[in-house]
Amino acid sequence: MKKGRETVNETPQVIEQSYTLASDEKATQVMIGTADTLMWGDLVTKEAARMSAYLNTLAEDYVPLRDAKILFLAPKEQMAPIERSSVHIRQEEILIFFMMHDEEPLPEEMQTRRYEPVEAIIGSLQIEGAILKAPISNLQNMLLVSKATYLPIYNATVRHVAKPWLGTFSSNFVQVRCERMILTAQ
């Protein structure tokens, strides 16, 4: 067992870890965007779990974050995030999901799949990056055939167009909720 007294240095604040990991578990720092909030914290999973497939394969109805921070996007003025030791987010409310520190390699291009630059818009969130698709398929056909709830966008940059003070976030991949996105080819 790993001790629950490790210190996590994230922003100017230092937060003591409020949970204990089992020997077969890991904690991955992730960010989750909903219509009204940005949340970040530790997602505890089995050691072998791949974050790139988490929402489409392993996630349950509620995604638990530990040592979480919640930033409300509705106020007109900038405000500090609130901290909670545990937050449970209903999966269907999650619009974007990504690791804050890239830990998984990007998939490689092959003859049967190529990166294509895209832009996704979900509410006030703009995500620029690339999708991986068959070179003979067009974007429309790929979207019609896909049954996945979340579409991975690789080498992605995320920004909130209505809150420029948030800056931009970058990740090797961002999972974007298909039913809520507008997708443009670049």
* CATH number assigned to the domain comprising residue 11: 2.30.30.100
Last residue of a domain, one of 99, 131, 156: 99
pLDDT average, residue stretch 76-102: 92
Two tokens at 34?
Answer: 């909903």
Same domain? 62 vs 22: yes
Same domain? 84 vs 122: no
pLDDT value at position 79? 86
pLDDT value at position 78? 82
**Structural domains of the chain, count:** 2
Q: DSSP secondary structure string, 44-70?
A: EEETT--GGGIIIII--SEEEEEEEEE
Same domain? 118 vs 94: no
**Domain membership flag for residue 2:** no
Q: Is 166 helix (H, G, I), strand (E, B) or coil?
A: helix
Same domain? 13 vs 49: yes
Q: CB count, 10 Å around CB of 13?
A: 9
Give the span between the Cα atoms of 138 and 140, in whole angstroms: 6
For residue 119, the enclosing domain spans 114-185
Same domain? 95 vs 118: no
**Domain membership flag for residue 105:** no
Residue 10 has pLDDT above 80, yes or no: no
**Domain membership flag for residue 75:** yes
Q: What is the pLDDT of residues 145-173, one digit of tens each?
A: 888 899 999 999 999 998 888 999 999 99
